Amino acid sequence: ALNKPTVLASGEWMLPAYLLQHSTGIGPFRGIFPELDPYRGVNLLVSKDQGANWERRACVPFPNPDWHEPMIVERQDGTLWMLGRTSKGIAETVSADAGHTWSEPTYPTGIRHPNARFHLRRLASGRILLVKHGASVDAHEGRSKLSAWLSEDDGKTWQGGLMLDERKGISYPDGFQAPDG
């Protein structure tokens, strides 16, 4: 798992951990471990005791799989919104039952991103922070112009566009919010 767990309103910790969907394998790993095929995709691990024990709640395969690097936020209506990296950009899926089942992943309207990691997190203010490549939310020029965006309506619209780094090749954003905001 590359990302931090999300603490849900229920108090559960949800950690999206992925197993590459390339069942044929890459290089010297080609064709090994076929018994793992049912687990290929994003596995949703849940802890009810702050990380002491974990259970697998679901597995979500993504279209055009790549490294996934999924992130989850809990929306104000209680649904879970998961974004994941694919070879064609960011794909999204939604769960209305605490992560037991998920919608068929699709590509969100209004968010365009290259095949690269992004960052998604709900802030203490209630807004959602998205860090992605591109000078606008709905476009990009590859891995350049790393920018930050805020949504006040659970990802329907985005404002801001704070340019974090204009250079090419800057990738793998991550973040957290300190206790003082």
Of the candidates 142, 126, 143, 133, the residue with the CA atom closest to the CA atom of residue 164 = 133
Determine how many CB atoms are found less than 10 A away from the CB of residue 71: 23
pLDDT of residue 33: 80
Show the tokens assigned to 9. 């309103």
Beta strands 6-7 and 13-19: pairing type?
A: antiparallel
Task: Please give the single-letter amino acid code of residue 103.
Answer: S
Q: In whole angstroms, what separates CA 63 from the centre of its chain?
A: 14
pLDDT of residue 66: 80
pTM for the model stands at 0.92
Computed from CA positions of residues 66, 107, 169, 70, in that sequence, does the dihedral angle turn out positive or negative? Answer: negative
For residue 101, give Cα distances in angstroms to 12, 34, 104, 132, 135.
Answer: 16, 24, 10, 27, 34
Place of tokens 């068929």: 104
Of the candidates 40, 48, 82, 35, the residue with the CA atom closest to the CA atom of residue 65 = 40
Of the candidates 48, 66, 39, the residue with the CA atom closest to the CA atom of residue 11 = 48
pLDDT of residue 142: 93
Place of tokens 């989850």: 72
| Mean pLDDT for back-to-back runs of 10 residues, the chain (181 residues) | 85 93 69 83 96 96 88 97 94 97 95 93 96 94 95 96 94 90 86
Place of tokens 């931090």: 4
Q: Are 11 and 48 in contact (CB under 8 A)?
A: yes
Please provide the DSSP assignment of 133-156 as one string: ESSBTTB--SSEEEEEEEESSTTS
